Structure 1
Amino acid sequence: MAKQDIEIKTGDGVAKAGLFRSATASSSRAGIILYMDAFGPRPALDAMAERLAGEGYAVLVPDLFYRKAPYGPFEPKTAFVVEETKVALTALVHGTTQDMTIRDSRAFLDTLTAEGVTGPVGVVGYCMGGARALNAAATYPDRIVAAASFHGGNLASDAADSPHRKAAMIKARVYVGTSGVDRSFPPEQSARLVEALRVAEVDHAIENYTGMAHGWCVSDHSVFNAAGAERHWKRLTTLFAETLI
């Protein structure tokens, strides 16, 4: 698997990113943007991007916190337990707004195009990246044909930038995988998101991973669950196989 470290010029600066391709693929027509969780780009996310690249896609993993770089690194198992890193992480998350990432996503898409990825694009986000993936799909419906969120928080909150408010703009197929009990995406938000997607006639599925905790998909999380992660991989690769054609 080949990883290329690149820099993406945005309206607010320069974001570092990893671009992953299969070593056996000379080019990839379809691309994927992986929107990180709160702990930033790191080996665990690289491994996930490599797995997706192994399916034949060009996979971009941008640093969404680039405006505050350098920062971290953070250890997911303890970052929200230690007060110092908890404060730093909370500031990064709240200081990187949905609007910022939505604007950055134009540069991410342009980067894929410049790298020869001229076909359809899928997006997937974890934790804080889940809402960003859905908002990107709503903002760039001409390019993004599939959007997935796993243990994404606040997908249908009262906030003005909540993704459910843009459901009518989404043309992509949507898949949302939720942890069994997740304070960042309670049942009332799930019901609100379902209704918004249904009314907007978005092709979607929302699946509850009973018994899984927030973060179960990512290998360096304390709540990582191997069986649940494999189930997530099956759903995600099927989504992209059926849409990125």
Structure 2
Amino acid sequence: MAREEIEIETKDGKARAGLFQPSTTARAGVILYMDAFGQRPVLDEMAKRFAGHGYAVLVPDLFYRNVPYGPFDAKTAFAVEETKTKLMALVTGTTQEMTIRDSEAFLNALTAEGISGPVGVVGYCMGGARALNAAATYPDRIVAAASFHGGNLASDAADSPYRKAASIKARVYVGTAGVDRSFPPEQSARLAEALRIAEVDHTIENYVGVGHGWCIKDHSVYDEAGAERHWKRLTTFFGETLR
């Protein structure tokens, strides 16, 4: 299945996005919120795999306000001061509020493609929190929200998604790395408590022995067994919720 390049009109400009359609009529739509290294072929590969399960998958460029940027090598970018500085400027300059606002346009883009039913969202790294925040903001449309090695899901920040747990109507799955400074055990406990109090159907699963970024092939800590476990969990999760 080929990548269709589309432009999405947002309140702040035009965001490029990859759209991947299944070979048969799409059973539902999925938005993939990228990690900190931006749009690149490995994310397209993941989207194609999703599409193979019958979903129309949208991969928007969350950094569209700053194009052109990169490309970045996910294995070394944070180890080199120059590229680390550029990456952090992109990440911090693209706020949660920006992505939440953009997500309305992303949902509308799926509708324009004929995907008007329930939507699932999944985010990796910085995209994890954005997926959960989107679910809290658009509860009438997003019925499944997943995060893998998402950072700061229950931090002290004002935009941390655990604060919006009461607004989430979606089912939630969080897969966390065994050791991850961006999502330590105290945050996991805080998120679990917030979701339980809000009566959100949720699972938080600890992937012992893997590092932050284990799901994505071009990361230095990519773990094939852990990545395949993530695919199994995610496709089951979406299969149960995106009917």
| TM-score exceeds 0.5 | yes
Tell me the amino acid that sits aligned with residue 158 of structure 2: A
2:198 alignment counterpart? 200
How many pairs align? Answer: 243
CA contact (8 A) 1:178 1:207 kept: yes
Q: Distance in 2 between matches of 1:205 and 1:34?
A: 19
Alignment match of 1:234 (pick from 209, 228, 232): 232
2:147 alignment counterpart? 149
Moved over 4 A (4+): none
Q: How far does residue 64 in structure 1 lie from its aligned partner after superposition?
A: 0.2
Q: Distance in 1 between matches of 2:27 and 2:234?
A: 18
Q: What are the within-5 Å matches in structure 2 for residues 94-113 of structure 1?
A: 94-113=92-111
Structure 1 residues without counterparts, runs of 5 or longer: none
Tell me the amino acid that sits aligned with residue 241 of structure 1: G
Q: Distance in 1 between matches of 2:202 and 2:3?
A: 32
2:19 alignment counterpart? 19
Q: Distance in 2 between matches of 1:63 and 1:118?
A: 21
SS at match of 1:184: coil
Tell me the amino acid that sits aligned with residue 56 of structure 1: G
2:166 alignment counterpart? 168
Change (3 A) 1:178 1:168: same
Q: How far does residue 74 in structure 1 lie from its aligned partner after superposition?
A: 0.4
Superposed CA RMSD:
0.6
1:187 aligns with 2:185: yes
CA contact (8 A) 1:29 1:116 kept: no
Q: Distance in 1 between matches of 2:50 and 2:63?
A: 23
Structure 2 residues without counterparts, runs of 5 or longer: none
Q: Distance in 2 between matches of 1:29 and 1:244?
A: 8
Q: How far does residue 118 in structure 1 lie from its aligned partner after superposition?
A: 1.1
Q: Distance in 2 between matches of 1:80 and 1:10?
A: 30
Q: How far does residue 29 in structure 1 lie from its aligned partner after superposition?
A: 4.1
2:35 alignment counterpart? 37
1:89 aligns with 2:87: yes
Q: Distance in 2 between matches of 1:215 and 1:92?
A: 18
What's the TM-score once normalised by structure 1's chain length? 0.98
SS at match of 1:174: strand
